[in-house]
A and B are shown apart, each in its own frame.
Chain A
C-alpha cells in the first residue's frame, strides 16, 4: 500500500511536516483556498485538492479568481437559490471544481442533477441513514445513462467507468473515508481514519510518525478487515446481490431499499458499459 493521502487543516506548521505526502487541505473560507494550496505545494506536498467545508449554500459562495486551476472540493449544505448564481455559471465552470451535496435532503439530489446539466461537476454524498433511495436511483441513472452532455456526478461516474462484474469497487475515497486513500489530521496533528472519527475525536495515532508502515499499522489493518467480518458473521449484507458496489457501507440502515438501489446500480452500470462512447471527454480531478 502506498502511504495514504493526508487530509489536513490549513495550518502552515502542519503542512510543512507533510512534505512528500499527497495532501488535501481543509479550509472553511473559499478565500483561503489559494493560500492553502500554495502552502501545501511549497512544503513539498502533492496537492490532491483543497476541501472547502462551508456552511453557506453554493449560491452565496464567491470563488476567488486566484483559486482558478486549483482542484477544489466544495462541500456545501445546499445549492441555494439557482437564480442567484445562474448568471455566474460560466464563471463557475472555469474552476476545477466539484460540488459535494448531501443526499439526505431531497432538494440536494435535484440540485446535483441541475448542476450536472449546466456543467458543474458534483458528488452525491450518500450518508448512512439516507432515506431517499428512489430519488438517488434516478440521479444515478441520469449520471450514468443520460446521453445529453452533462458534467459528472460522483461516485456514479467513477462506478460506471470502473464497473467490473468480477471485482469489488470501493468508492469511499470520494468522501475521503477510506484509510487506504486518506488519513485525517486534526489541528494538533493527531490521526483519524475517517471524517466521522475525526469529528468524534477517535484518533489512532498522536501523529503521522507513529504510522511508519500503513500496511502493518493495526488500526488500518483492522479497518481493512472489517469487510471480512461481514462474511465471518454471515451478515445479511454479505448475501446481498448489491454487495459488490455497496460493500456494507449502509449496514446500519440496511433494508430492501438500499439493496434494491445497489442492484439497480449494477444493472445500470452494465448498460452504461455497453452504451458509453469514449470520445475524449475533459477530465476533472478526482481525489
Chain B
C-alpha cells in the first residue's frame, strides 16, 4: 500500500501552538486549485494502472481539510470517478482533521469516499489548541466534543493523537484518564512534541526530552497494562505489546526503516515530498505532480538515501542495539533536524529504549519473557528500488499524523529477526555485527509457534506465505503446533523447524486472518492478510506451496477409466453452505455425455456421491490428490481445498461461489461463478463472528444461493476451459 499524505489546503481555522503549518511560510496557492486536484487523481490512476497489485491510501490532511467545503470534496469524488474508473477499488481514503467543522453533510461525504474512521488531534489544555488567531480553546473544545459525539452517532470510528509537551508532564495519569473517558471506543496515541528550526525560540517552553517522554509513558503504562483489555487502543502501548510480546510487527513509519518506499506527500501547489513533516520543513522535495508520475517519485535517488540508513546505522549509531528491529534508528527527519544528516539515529530512540527498559520490561517481563528475543540484527542490505511488492504502508509520526495508517508489519529489516531465547543483557553491545548470529536451534531456540486454524485450503495459503518468508530470509523459522490435518502437508517446509507441542509460555501466532481488521474490506484478500500476519508487506505474489515431491499412487491411476479429456469434480466442503446441491452436480455430470469426457469425483469418504462420475471419495489423501491434479484437464469445485490446490498445480478450474467471495479467496486464471445472494446476508452468512453456522445447512432451502447456478452455464465454462 502506497500512502499519500494529501494536503490540498494549508488554511486552518485553528492555531495550535506546536503546529508546523502555523509557523512556516505559507505555500502558494494555499488551497489546491481544482485543475491540480484533477491532475492528482490522474496521477493516482496512472500509478495504480501501472501496478495492478498496488493499493493507494490517500490521507486528507492540511491545514484543516474540512475548510475545503462540501463542493471541493464532491469534485474530488467526481474526479476519482472520472479518472480512476478502473482503479478506484484500490484507492482508500482517510482523513486527519481537527473535526471542529464536522457535520452530517461531511459524514455523508466521508461515507461516499469509503472513510470509516476519522483521525484527529486533541489537547484540552488552555492555550495549546484553539480556534482563530486568539487560539480560543473553549470554543475549540466545545466544537470538538460535539463533533466526536456526532461522529459516533453517524457510525464513524475515530482516533486522536495527543502531543505530549512540557505542560503535560506533571499529570500523565490525569491526561490518560481524561482521554480514556473521552474516547470510549476511540483510540488514542501519545506522541512527543517535535521542535524544529525556529520552534525553539517560539515554543521552546514546550520542549520535552526523550527521558521525560519515557517517564511520562512510564507513569501510565502499569495502569494500562493491568487493565489493558478494558481500554480502547492506546499507543504506543498497544503496538509495542503486539510487537514485543505477540511478535506481530506493527511499526509506525518513523520506526519501520522503510518509509521511503511507502510514503509521499502532495501539497496544495502540487509539490511532492517525502511526508507531511518533510513538506512542512522544506526537506526531501521530489518535484511536482505537474512533471512527475508517482512511480518516478518512488524511484527518486533521495529515497535511496533514506533506505541507506538501514545499512549505515547498524554499523554506527545503532551498532549492537537490541532494539534495532523495532526502531531502525527512528525518523530520519529527527536526525536531520539535530545533525543536518539523515545518517544518525533519532534522539527519540532513547525515549523508546528508556521506556522499554525502565518501564515496559519490568512490568511485563517476568510474566511474558518480554523482549528477550530481541537481539542485535545483521545489517540489512539496502533494499532494491521499490517494486509492487515492496511498497509499505506506514504512518506519519508527529501531531500531523494519521492514525489510520499508524501500524503495519515491518518487513524490510525484520527478515533477520531471529526469535531466539538467547538472552542478551540490556544494552549489551555486539562487536561482530558483520557476522550473523546463528543460534543453536536444538538447545536454545524456541521459535514462534504457528497455531494453524482453518481448513486445508488455508493450510496451502499458510504454506505459500511461509515459503515467501523463507525465501526472503532463510534463517527465519517457526514451529508448528502438531495437528493431524496439517502436519502431512507442511512436513519438510523450509520455514518450519519443528512440528510438535509447545512448552508452556511459548509464543504463538494464530492464522485466523479473518479476525484481522481489514478482512472484508473491499480489495482485501485472504492471502495478503496472512502474509501481513507473517511480517510480509502486501501486496505480494500469491504463490501456494507444498513441500516435498508430488507422487501419484500408480494403482489408483491405473484404476481410473481415463478418457480423452478428464474433469475432476469436487462437490464437498466442510461447510454445507458452500456446496452446490447434489442434483445440480448430477445434472452437470450428465451434460458431457457422448463427448469423450471423463468425470472423476474426489473428496472425503462421507461426501455425497455424484451419480455419473467415477468416485475416488475417501481414496486419496490431500497430498495424493494434489499430486494427481495435473492429470486432469479441468477441475470443477466449490470454495474448498481443491480450489486452492488447483491454483497450486496450475490446473484450470471452474469455481462455484456462494456465501464466500471469489475476490477474497479466488485466483486469477480460474473461471468464477459467483451466486447472487438474495437472503438477508448480502455479505455472505459465513465470516467473522458466525463460526457457529459454518458447518450448518443454509436455512433458505431451495433459495440457498448455491442452488441458483445453472448447470448449462457451468458446463459452458468447462467447455471454454477445455478449448484453451
Contacts and interface: CB of A to CB of B under 8 A. Distances in A.
Interface of A: 165-168, 228, 231-232, 234, 238-241, 243-244, 270
A205 to B, nearest CB: 24
B181 A232 contact: no
B177 A166 contact: no
B181 A167 contact: no
Contact of A238 (B173, B181, B232): B181
A165 B231 contact: yes
A243 B229 CA distance: 18
Given A165-B230, A234-B124, A239-B174, A228 B185 contact: no
B181 A244 contact: yes
Q: Considering residues B149, B171, B178, which has the most beta carbons from chain A within 10 angstroms of its beta carbon?
A: B178
A139 B561 CA distance: 79
B177 A240 contact: yes
Contact of A166 (B138, B182, B232): B232
B182 A231 contact: yes
B145 interface: yes
B104 to A, nearest CB: 13
B380 interface: no
Interface in B464-480: none
14 contacts: A165-B229, A165-B231, A167-B184, A167-B185, A168-B184, A228-B146, A228-B149, A231-B141, A232-B138, A234-B178, A238-B181, A240-B177, A241-B177, A270-B230
Given A165-B229, A234-B124, 8 more contacts: A168-B184, A228-B142, A228-B149, A231-B141, A232-B138, A232-B142, A238-B178, A240-B177
Contacts of B230: 165, 270
Interface string B129-148: 00000000010011001100
Given A168-B184, A228-B146, A239 B232 contact: no
B218 to A, nearest CB: 18
Given A166-B185, A166-B232, A232-B138, A243 B125 contact: no
B184 A231 contact: no
Contacts of A243: 177, 181
Nearest to B141: A232
For the complex of A and B, the 6 pairs showing the least CB-CB separation, nearest first, are: A165-B230, A239-B174, A243-B181, A239-B178, A232-B141, A228-B145
Nearest to B183: A166
Given A239-B174, A241-B177, A231 B124 contact: yes
Contacts of B180: 241
Given A168-B184, A231-B141, A239 B146 contact: no
B175 interface: yes
B29 to A, nearest CB: 35
A239 B177 contact: yes
A256 B232 CA distance: 25
A167 B230 CA distance: 10
Nearest to A266: B230
A188 to B, nearest CB: 35
A234 B185 contact: no
A163 to B, nearest CB: 10
B181 A239 contact: yes
A234 B125 CA distance: 8
A75 to B, nearest CB: 31
A166 B231 CA distance: 7
Contacts of A234: 124-126, 178
A166 B178 contact: no
A244 B181 CA distance: 6
A281 to B, nearest CB: 25
B180 to A, nearest CB: 8
Interface string B98-137: 0000000000000000000000000011100000000000
Contacts of A244: 181, 184
Q: Considering residues A168, A239, A240, A244, which has the most beta carbons from chain B within 10 angstroms of its beta carbon?
A: A239
Interface in B629-643: none
A270 B230 CA distance: 9
Contact of A231 (B126, B145, B173, B231): B145
B126 to A, nearest CB: 8
Contacts of B171: 239
Nearest to B175: A239
Contacts of B174: 239
A240 B229 CA distance: 19
Nearest to A244: B181
A232 B148 CA distance: 13
B444 to A, nearest CB: 38
Contacts of B124: 231-232, 234
Interface in B168-192: 171, 173-175, 177-178, 180-182, 184-185
A231 B138 contact: no
Given A231-B178, A238-B178, A166 B184 contact: yes
B196 to A, nearest CB: 29
Contacts of A241: 177, 180
Nearest to A247: B181
B253 to A, nearest CB: 28
Contacts of A166: 184-185, 232
Nearest to B182: A231
Contacts of B125: 234
A231 B183 CA distance: 11
Nearest to B146: A228
Contacts of B126: 234
A94 B126 CA distance: 58
Contacts of B229: 165
Interface in B208-249: 229-232
